[in-house]
Structure 1
């Protein structure tokens, strides 16, 4: 009677082949978490850019000229337009110049007014870099006529430690431009 089964050499060969496959495939699977975070950041920032474009289209369709308080055809209708027709924030006339100044509060209002999402957002400060926040925001500049004036939003959910490189979106309310790239917050 002949015995059926694998020889020791065949068994060792299969184990070695499986070991080699797992060593080469494991790093790819370990990186899926970062790929998922990158995808979430890109999709969210793309949604923000689309919302800015839709808001501006609404401003154009309404034949609005200059600053508009509470543009009613987008979202909850409580976001004011800049003099160029792009979203700026809520109650922008309180800061004077009717839609020509950017403040940090406006950046948070834009995020919450243009997007329907469940991210925890926090103002850029040392306390923002904790495990519970997903987005850190603030602004640079003041007058929207300054081409460097923008809100920035950093996706820190994947690496919330201060000084780490994360995805950053910049929104320039004077022109409606949105840029996305890597940046490090100090």
Structure 2
């Protein structure tokens, strides 16, 4: 009447669970890329803030009664507007003079950063910036994350365009 037990011992089960845990810890990061999601979320946050700042600057320009290509001081910086969108810091740069003529819409990286600084009220530390002052490209300012250069946004005041750039979408 001796009955033989069948099944696994507690030690065997613990060893299997430990091995599965080790495999999960080493394999999960290869299947789940959290950093890409974090970069996208970071970019979307900055894009939303920049977009809101553009719209607030436009509203302030319209309420202030300036002409569409006028000038207005925002955050201590005198900005030149193109069709009520901030184009550049007035009177300080190659492509942005302080006369009454609309500008060519071609800005340097410095000029793009000056618009950022005035609108966001803090220096740009997250993005590499490129302007199109030396070329005939469609966009004025390219903002690309320093950590992930394929993600960012484009801004062009002369055409009132603000475009999110994310190659995975």
TM-score (norm: length of structure 1): 0.66
Structure with higher Rg: it is: 2
1:10-89 equivalences in 2 (<5 Å): 10-27=13-30, 31-69=33-71, 71-72=72-73, 74-82=74-82, 84-89=83-88
Gaps of 5+ in 1: 1-5, 121-133, 160-164
**Cα deviations by residue, 1:30-80 (Å, 9 ceiling, x for unpaired):** x333332322222112211111111111112123223222x13x3224212
Cα-Cα RMSD: 3.0
CA contact (8 A) 1:147 1:174 kept: no
Gaps of 5+ in 2: 1-8
TM-score (norm: length of structure 2): 0.72
The answer as to 2:106 corresponding to 1:114 is: no
CA contact (8 A) 1:52 1:114 kept: yes
CA change 1:118–1:106 in 2 (3 A) is closer
Q: Which structure is higher in RCO with an 8 Å CA cutoff and minimum separation 6?
A: 2
Structure-2 separation of matches of 1:152 and 1:94 = 21
